[in-house]
Amino acid sequence: MRTSDPKAIFLDRLRRVHRRTLWRVAGLGVARLGLGGAMVLATLWLLGLADGPGRFLTYGLLVSLAMAVGALLWTQLLGRLWRLRTRRQLVRHLERQGSFANLLVAAEEAVRDPARWEGSRPVTRELRARLLRQAAERLRHVGPADAAPWERRGQTILGLALCLVLATFLATAPGGVLERGWRRFLNPALLWAPPPTGGLLAEVTSGHVVFGETMPLQALDATLPDANLPEDAAVCEIRVGTGMWQPVPTRRGFLNQACPAWCAPLRVWQAEVQDVREDFQWRFRRGAMVSRVGRVQVRHYPLVTELAGTIAPPAYTRLADREMPRLPTWLEAPANSRLILDGRTNHPPESVHLVADSGDSLALAVAGSTFQGTLEIMENQVFQLVVRDAYGLRNRAPLRYEVVAVPDGAPAVHLGMKGDDSILPVDGRLDLQLDAADDYGLTALGLEMRVLAGTDISAGPEEGPDFRLLTLWRGDAPLGAGQEDWSTPWGAAGLVFRPLAGTDSAARQPLQAGLALETGFGDLDLMPGDVLELRALARDNRRPGPAGESRSSVLRLSLPSAADVLAAQADSSAQRQGELDEMRRRGRQLGQDLDRLTRELLKNPVPDWARQQEMEAALERQKRMQQELSRVARQLMQDLERLASGQMTSEKMLEKAEQIGELLQQPSSESLAEALRKMQQDDAGFQPEELAEAMRDVARDQKEMARRLDAALSMLQTMDREQELEGLASLLEKMIRKQQELADLSREQAAEDSSGERRPEGGESEGEQSEGEQSEGEQSENGQSEGQQSENQPGGEQPSAEELARRQEALAQEMEQLREKLEQALAELQEQDANDGRQDDPGSEEMRQALEQALKQMEQKDSQGSMDQAGEQLAQMNPEMAAQLQEQALRDLGSLYHVILKTQSAMQAAMDNRQTSSLRRLAADMLTLSGRQEAIAERIPARIREVRSLD
């Protein structure tokens, strides 16, 4: 950063010149010190001669060399640096070197002692600033060469070159003069040491060896170099403990080091002990001479001898700590657990580290031969223990431990429905079952819902409108029964829930939980074709971090139209009649088989094994038929109860269904099975007459069942026709009610549109109004509109024209389905009458006429066309015209409803008349039969009439 302060500029330049000058002085001084290398080389050469100088001359040379080198060091380097150690001395040196007119000295003094140069007058300050600016300007042209010039440059370079040549020559000269002189320079006593006369000197290379490695051994042989010794003259011996000395292969060699006495290479004896595993003693022996005994201590690698572990799971899992006296190399632990390590080594280590494969390390606490540490298991870990001792050794091939962090998975949740057929009942009542489970505990259960309509019906779980959540239970309270009123954008819904059997209701945060849900979605504002999606939510107790959440698969239920419900009921009735016809055929076949078996029992009271098997098969067939008939009766009641919940049948139909169920129910007799059991077990109390009597009872029961089945089929056919008319009447009632609501909403919207158009005109004619009057008028209008909305919708929101058009279109589709239903019912009725030959059936004739008249009226008045046009008008924002068309469609529906009711009454009257005539014919037939019995009785002789049966 630039500054305009003269003082700062001067100081910066002065510091730069001072620093560069010192570096230059130091470099030049080191270069001049190279001239002293000639004196050192000469001294080493003199000391390295074979004979060498005497003791006095040696010390004189060493003292003279030290004095010369010290003087050279002071004069060429240290002294010069000392003279320029401060900036004050630098400026004085510059003044002496050049003519600066005492400018630099004055400026440095002004900066160093500002009290002498500062004053209160502006003139003094200005003079000081000028002085500093001039000094800074002069320093800009001053360099290190000005302060420390290189004197005698040529002589210095020549001297350095001569010293380099001399050193190179002496270093490459044969005989090792410089090396010997350097050894004598470091230890002058070697010059007058007496030469050895003989002996073995054990040379201690090291007193220890690492376990399993090779230990080199060596001994110096002080024999004269010219002595002729064989290769195996010396041998190395070792022993372990107090055992015997064992020879080790030994070889002869020479050291590069020369003996100071005769300056020749020394003879050595060398040996190697490989794969050392125990402490041992060693020595060299040559003839009678034996070296001193050396001892080698083996240093063992650190080794983990014991390692125990304890897994401490997180507190929220409520799991006990798992102790492992011996830590396995592979183990699993819950995520966020702590692995506590407790181990021991073969000798006290200096450090123990847990090193992961990722490169991270963890220092463990060491106390003597034991160590402890804790590892946080956040994810899968692969680690090994690295042990180092005081000798720098580390354990070899440490074991690798793998810890798998088992994550706390999201809870499992399932939402099921009894009899799931993807159809939403008309009354909106569902029996749901919510099951959830988690590894460590649940903290919340909920139910999510949304309604899809129009183009959103094909949307996936992550598309379309959002789900609305209702929390049923939280883990801070016991799981119990309850009831919730659920307010949703689609209307209000009721929900009743209770814990399932086997659920621990008193437990907090249970591992498993189940709820039985009874929902009431009947008040939701749904149209036929809309889809209701439900899914369950479960939340676990995972800590720390966000709790795990899971959602079940979506339970998708479509709201059918009333015509679809009636069509499904008609299909179910047809299937039911087909099943009863098949059962009647099988029952007749069974009756024939039972009659045949009864006749055979009259011939042979004690049947053989084949006849016994046939009787047991007949009993089994009869039992299966009774079970199937009971199932059909239950399905009939369930279908009618479902229709009754949707107000599509009457209590009279339920009573008839109960009567049919009573006809299809028949208690089974176990007398035949008991008789067969007694016969097969050779019971002493068995009588052949019991088997025949039981067989007759079974045959009689089967005939009674066939009679009841015929009556049930007749009643079912009649009830299906009545139910069809009941369903059509209920369907028309619902359509009339929906059309009335749409017409009312269209008129209200038309009124709002007309009032909205008149409001600006009235505002222009009245002129300006006060702000208070405007706010009062707005409040009254808003209050009126809110009241009108609350009458039509629970949420208090007026539906838009698009929504009304969608509802009108759905109603038109229902009208089309009604027409198709009438055509299908008429075709089936005609086909049935033609196949059964019952054209004279009054109920069938009345129903056929009603269906033909209803279809003819629908074609003439074109109610569906009015509905379609009303929907188009609503889509075009013309509610007034739409309301007129809706009222026309409402009148057409009313007339059609009148036709259905009239036909229903006529059909009931015809069926009553037919039943009365049937009863009259039955009474007449019974009187005729009674008269014939009396006439036959009169023709029987009196003596025969008095005969009584011995039974």
CA distances from 656 to 381, 634, 651, 716, 903 (A): 73, 13, 9, 9, 20
Cβ neighbours of residue 69 closer than 8 Å, sequence gap 6 or more: 36, 39, 40
What are phi and psi for residue 513, nearest 5 degrees?
-150, 145
More confident residue, 465 or 172: 465
Reading the block at residue 128, the tokens are 């000081």
Task: Flag the least confident range among 422-426, 472-476, 830-834.
Answer: 830-834
Residue 122: pLDDT band (50, 70, 90) is confident
- Diameter of the chain measured on Cα atoms: 184
Q: In whole angstroms, what separates CA 619 from the centre of its chain? A: 57
- Give 898-914 pLDDT, tens digit per residue: 777 666 666 666 555 66
> What is the secondary structure of 311-348 as a DSSP string?
EE--GGGTPPPEEESS--SEEEEETTEEEEEEEEESS-
Residue 183: pLDDT over 60: yes
CB 389 within 8 A of CB 349: yes
Query: Beta strand 294-299 with 280-286: parallel, antiparallel or unpaired?
Result: antiparallel
More confident residue, 332 or 690: 332
Using DSSP's 3-state secondary structure scheme, residue 61 falls into helix
How far apart CA 14 and CA 135 sit, in angstroms, is 9
How far apart CA 848 and CA 504 sit, in angstroms, is 60
Every domain range in the chain assigned CATH 1.20.120:
564-732
pTM above 0.75, yes or no: no
Q: What is the pLDDT of residue 664?
A: 64
Q: Is the alpha carbon torsion for 554, 555, 560, 564 positive or negative? A: positive
What is 564-732's CATH number? 1.20.120
First to last CA, the chain: 139
Task: Flag the least confident range among 394-398, 527-531, 663-667.
Answer: 663-667
CA atoms lying within 13 Å on the CB side of residue 4: 0
- Give 509-562 pLDDT, tens digit per residue: 888 888 888 887 766 767 777 788 889 999 998 888 788 899 998 888 877 765
Radius of gyration of the chain (CA): 59
More confident residue, 206 or 318: 318
CB 171 within 8 A of CB 178: yes
880-903 average pLDDT score: 72
Q: What is the mean pLDDT of the chain?
A: 74
How far apart CA 763 and CA 755 sit, in angstroms, is 12
Reading the block at residue 276, the tokens are 């050392």
Q: Within 10 A of 240 (CB to CB), how many other CB atoms are there?
A: 12
Using DSSP's 3-state secondary structure scheme, residue 299 falls into strand
Chain length of the chain: 951
CA distances from 42 to 37, 59, 65 (A): 9, 15, 10
How far apart CA 760 and CA 756 sit, in angstroms, is 7
Q: What is the pLDDT of residue 393?
A: 92
CB 495 within 8 A of CB 480: no
Residue 763: pLDDT over 60: no
456: amino acid identity, one letter: D
Burial of 406 (0-12, 13-18, 19+ CB in 10 A): middle
Task: Flag the least confident range among 39-48, 201-210, 683-692.
Answer: 683-692
Query: Beta strand 294-299 with 208-210: parallel, antiparallel or unpaired?
Result: parallel
- Give 152-163 pLDDT, tens digit per residue: 777 777 777 777
More confident residue, 306 or 55: 306
Residue 838: pLDDT over 70: no
Residue 109: pLDDT band (50, 70, 90) is confident
102-112 average pLDDT score: 75
Residue 802: pLDDT over 60: yes
> What is the secondary structure of 599-627 as a DSSP string?
HHHHH-SS--HHHHHHHHHHHHHHHHHHH
> What is the secondary structure of 648-691 as a DSSP string?
-S-HHHHHHHHHHHHHH--PPP-HHHHHHHHHHTT-TT--HHHH
Residue 402: pLDDT over 90: yes
Residue 96: pLDDT over 70: yes
Using DSSP's 3-state secondary structure scheme, residue 194 falls into coil
More confident residue, 331 or 809: 331
Q: What is the pLDDT of residue 795?
A: 42
How far apart CA 326 and CA 258 sit, in angstroms, is 59
Q: What is the pLDDT of residue 943?
A: 58
Every domain range in the chain assigned CATH 2.60.40.10:
193-299, 304-406, 412-560
- Give the single-character DSSP code of 78: I
Task: Flag the least confident range among 203-207, 467-471, 647-651, 743-747.
Answer: 647-651
Using DSSP's 3-state secondary structure scheme, residue 505 falls into coil
Residue 764: pLDDT band (50, 70, 90) is very low
CB 46 within 8 A of CB 147: no
- Give 585-641 pLDDT, tens digit per residue: 877 777 777 777 777 777 777 677 777 777 777 777 777 777 777 777 777 776 666
Q: What is the pLDDT of residue 773?
A: 39
CATH 3.30.479.10 at 412-560, yes or no: no
Residue 949: pLDDT band (50, 70, 90) is very low
More confident residue, 899 or 312: 312
In the CATH scheme, what architecture does the domain 193-299 have?
Answer: Sandwich (2.60)
What are phi and psi for residue 311, nearest 5 degrees?
-95, 120
Residue 881: pLDDT band (50, 70, 90) is confident
CA distances from 929 to 255, 489, 704, 932, 937 (A): 149, 72, 21, 5, 12
Segment holding 412, helix H or strand E: strand 412-417
Q: What is the pLDDT of residue 454?
A: 64
Residue 786: pLDDT band (50, 70, 90) is very low
Cβ neighbours of residue 350 closer than 8 Å, sequence gap 6 or more: 366, 388, 389, 390
CB 877 within 8 A of CB 801: yes
CB 628 within 8 A of CB 581: no
Cross-strand pairs, 447 = 470, 536
How far apart CA 787 and CA 796 sit, in angstroms, is 8
What are phi and psi for residue 328, nearest 5 degrees?
-75, 160
Q: In whole angstroms, what separates CA 716 from the centre of its chain? A: 56
CB 772 within 8 A of CB 908: no
CB 483 within 8 A of CB 525: no
How far apart CA 622 and CA 666 sit, in angstroms, is 11
CB 497 within 8 A of CB 515: yes
Q: What is the pLDDT of residue 193?
A: 53
Burial of 82 (0-12, 13-18, 19+ CB in 10 A): exposed
Task: Flag the least confident range among 303-312, 518-527, 750-759, 775-784.
Answer: 775-784
CATH superfamily of this structure's domain 304-406:
Immunoglobulins (2.60.40.10)
703: amino acid identity, one letter: K
CB 294 within 8 A of CB 283: yes
**Closest-CA residue to 876 (of 801, 823, 807):** 801
> 571-602 burial by CB neighbour count: b if 16+ within 10 A, else e?
eebeebeeebeebbeebeebbebbeebeeebe
86: amino acid identity, one letter: T
- Give the single-character DSSP code of 396: S
CB 279 within 8 A of CB 297: yes
222-247 average pLDDT score: 80
According to the 3-state scheme, what is the secondary structure of 440-483? CCEEEEEEEEEEECHHHHHCCCCCCCCCEEEEEEECCCCCCCEE
Task: Flag the least confident range among 345-349, 442-446, 645-649, 780-784.
Answer: 780-784
Segment holding 366, helix H or strand E: strand 361-367
**Closest-CA residue to 289 (of 223, 349, 227):** 223
290-306 average pLDDT score: 92
Q: What is the pLDDT of residue 303?
A: 93
CB 44 within 8 A of CB 58: no
More confident residue, 917 or 295: 295
> What is the secondary structure of 814-852 as a DSSP string?
HHHHHHHHHHHHHHHHHHHHHHHT-TT-HHHHHHHHHHH
Reading the block at residue 466, the tokens are 């959002």
Whether omega for the bond prior to residue 544 falls within 30 degrees of 0, making it cis, is: yes
